[in-house]
Structure formats: C-alpha cells, structure tokens
Amino acid sequence: MLYQLHEFWRAGLAPYTYFADAGAKMYSSNDSWLASLPGAQRTAAAFELMYRLGKDYEKPEFGIHQVEVDGTPVPVVERVALEKPFCRLLRFKRFTDNEDKLRDLKDDPSVLVVAPLSGHHATLLRDTVQTLLADHKVYITDWTDARMVPASQGPFHLDDYIAYVQDFIRHIGTDNLHVISVCQPTVPVLAAISLMAAHGEPLPKSMVMMGGPIDTRESPTSVNNLATRQPLSWFQDNVIHNVPVNYPGQGRRVYPGFLQHMGFVAMNPERHQTSHWDFYQDLLKGDLDSAAAHRKFYDEYNAVLDMPAEYYLDTIRTVFQEHLLPRGLWDVAGERVDPSKIHGCALLTIEGELDDISGQGQTRAAHKLCTGIPAADRKHVTVEGAGHYGIFSGRRWRTQVYPQVRDFIAAHAGRVESTPGRTPKKKPTR
C-alpha cells in the first residue's frame, strides 16, 4: 500500500503547494500591493521554498533548439526516430540552408547516447547531448516512466534492455556509428555489442563507456555495498510496489521513483539541506542568478521515473551481486556474453577520480574483457577532480572530457582533428 499512500499524501499536499505558489507571486510581483508591505520579500521567499519542497516535478524537456557549429548558430529539431513501449529513440536533427555546411553536417559521425534507466530521465544528459551536437549527429535513448506503460505491454527485463539497444543500433546503422553509454548502461551496451559480434553482425565503430559498473568488485562504493548487504528477496519485498489505479500502468510492479529519490537525498542529506537554505537566502538577497541555478538543478534532480521491477531486480542480481559479466558467466536469452568476440570496434573508458557511484577501476575493467580489440584501439581516461556527474556534464565535461571523446570518435571514424573544434581533416578509413 506504500505507493497508494504516497499518492494520497501527494494529492492532499497539492492545495498547499498551489497556495504557496500563489503566495510567492503575490508577495513578490511588482503589480501586487502586497509586495510593498514590510517583510514581503521574506514572506515571498518562504512561500517559494515551501512550494518547491512540496510540488510535483514533471519530466523536463531537453529544450535544445540551437547549437553553435563552427561559430555559426544552427537550428536543432527533436524527433522521434523509433518508438517502443518502454523507450523512444530520439534524434536531434540539425538544419541549415548553407549547402556547404549541410554537406559537412551530413558527413559528421553518428552518436548513440544510451542514457541510464536508473531513476532520472534522459534529460539529465542534456549537457552531454548539446555538446556532442557541435560535431556529431546525435541520438539518445529516452526511457519511459514505467507507470505510464500499460501492464498489457508485458514485463521489461534486463534482457529486453539489451534487445532495445541492439534494435536502436540496427535502426541507425553502423556505417559511422559510435555508442556512448553513461553509468548503468555500460553493462547492457557491452552485452548487446558482444552478442552482435558473436552473430557476425556489423558493429559500431567505437564504444565510449563513462562511469559504469562493469565490475563492481573494483573499488566498491556505498551504492555497491547497499546492493550486496541484502539478499535479492529483501529488495523484492521492500522496494517493489504496484502502480496505483490513477496511472496507465496500474498494477505493474515497479521500483517507484519517489523511493529512488529518497535514496538519492539520503546519500547526502546535509548537502541538500544547505542548498535549500542557500536558495532561501539568495531570494532574500535578490541574487536571482543563484536562485535560478538552484531551480534549474532541482527541476531535473527531483524529476524521477519508476523502473520496471523485473529490470531492476535483474540488474541488482546480475551486476552487483553475482558479477556475471566480469566472471564470464552471463547468459542473455540463452546465449553467453563474451566481450572477447568484439573486433573492429574501438573502446574508450572514462572514470572520475572522485566518483562515489562507480568507483575507480569499475569501468576500466572493460579492457580486461575486450581482449579482441587491439591495444592501439583502446584508451582509458581518468578525469582528475571529477565526480560521477562531472564526467558527462558541466565545465569539466565540456573542457576536459569532451575534447578527448571527440578526438577518439574522429580517429575511429576515418577523421582526425588538427586543432580544437571542428574543421577536421580526412584520413584513410581504419
């Protein structure tokens, strides 16, 4: 009944959040006489803090409408390239009327960004996508909130996730495709490409794996320890619940987003408490830029989705408890996953020095498994001073990580960069 009780609580809280939102506007708007009363700014700040703590956070938009290519603004349109019950494959298509620039854009490598299905929406990778668009044709997996998927669509297992990745790769085509997996999907992506290699299918030109749990026996973190302290039955009994009747997925078994969010906050409660207090103080001081940054971060951070129970439990067992991939014991749909069969697909692994979610060595472990890839086509990067999110979002991603990702992709797409930025020179295909 926990999910149902949460819905009752959320519905009961809704009138108070609406009132708090209205109060914040009445005591801060230039058009309201209430804003001229003594203490109006403090009252407005308190109301807004109350509103943001109690409001329901919907899935954000990517909101990428334009990128800069070679110093020129280029319009971007978000399109659905392929749709499945539990995921949409999105394409961010760039447009220009300049024929020469259009030819350059068409020659750019294609990148499939496989976003994590681990609580937050794919929009968490907005900065990743926007940066990649300067030099690449970009696709991303936009996973669907499981509570919005009718139970009639059936269950969704980790094996299904792997099948989805394979279908997306085949749909895009592997001629000049590079797959970037961020965090959780490094494991199913490696499995998907390993199985395609075993079948003799064409493979992407490269895999870029960022902060993922390939082998969680390496430098285990508190997240890894949580998954191993309890038996699988504990997770099934304590965090899996039925979707209530007010959603399309009513009756589906899920790991609810609100429980995941509680777990995120519990990892560092003091930091979030301080952040909200600073937000209140920024409103009092009139520091609108800092307040806007707080809103932007928490609009994303607080927007969570439900995960299918089957997929979540499969991941706990396969990745964190039994370590089937690094032990060479993982069977998917009756076939053994063997990364050593991968040939003709380069490998770049990236880890953050201060990553407290995927510890150092966990992603690098992919090199021990992909023995069929020559050493010349494999590379590892440890980003100094970077935490988990810093390797794919923010200043370090844009200035330190992305140039290496761009150059690695270019080198294995038959192109090399002579200087930072675009204007690549051609070189013979590898």
Q: Which positions ≥6 away from 262 have C-beta within 8 Å?
A: none
The pLDDT confidence band at residue 260, using thresholds 50, 70 and 90, is confident
Q: Give tens-digit pLDDT for 34-59.
A: 999 999 999 999 999 999 999 999 99
Q: What is the per-residue pLDDT for 414? A: 58
State how far the Cα of 224 lies from the Cα of 358, in Å rounded to an integer: 8
Q: How far from the centroid of its chain's Cα atoms is residue 265's Cα?
A: 18
State how far the Cα of 327 lies from the Cα of 369, in Å rounded to an integer: 9
Residues 429 and 416: beta-carbon distance below 8 Å: no
Residues 209 and 366: beta-carbon distance below 8 Å: yes
Q: Which residue type sits at 365?
A: A
Q: Give tens-digit pLDDT for 320-370.
A: 999 999 999 999 999 999 999 999 999 999 999 999 889 999 999 999 999
Q: Give tens-digit pLDDT for 108-119.
A: 999 999 999 988
Hey, CA dihedral for 272, 238, 86, 148, is it positive or negative?
negative
Q: Give tens-digit pLDDT for 6-19.
A: 889 989 999 999 99
Residues 180 and 212: beta-carbon distance below 8 Å: no
Q: What is the per-residue pLDDT for 119? A: 86
180-191 average pLDDT score: 97
Local structure of 314: helix, strand or coil: helix
Which class for 121: exposed (0-12), middle (13-18), buried (19 or more C-beta within 10 A)?
Answer: buried
pLDDT at 264 over 90: no
Q: Which positions ≥6 away from 99 have C-beta within 8 Å?
A: none
State how far the Cα of 279 lies from the Cα of 272, in Å rounded to an integer: 10
State how far the Cα of 275 lies from the Cα of 280, in Å rounded to an integer: 9
Q: Give tens-digit pLDDT for 193-246.
A: 999 999 999 999 999 999 999 999 999 888 888 888 999 999 999 999 999 999
Task: Calculate the alpha carbon distances from 18 to 8, 51, 126, 291, 294 in Å.
Answer: 16, 7, 29, 20, 20
Q: What is the token pair recorded at 140?
A: 């991303």
Q: What per-residue string of b and e applies to 210-239 under the rule 16 or more CB within 10 Å gives b? A: bbbbbbbbbebbebbeebeeeeeeebeeeb
276-300 average pLDDT score: 93
59-80 average pLDDT score: 93
State how far the Cα of 102 lies from the Cα of 297, in Å rounded to an integer: 34
Q: What is the per-residue pLDDT for 392? A: 95
pLDDT at 268 over 50: yes
Within 10 angstroms of residue 320's Cβ, the number of other Cβ atoms is: 19
Residues 211 and 391: beta-carbon distance below 8 Å: yes
User: The pTM is what?
Assistant: 0.90
Greatest C-alpha distance within the chain = 74
The pLDDT confidence band at residue 425, using thresholds 50, 70 and 90, is very low
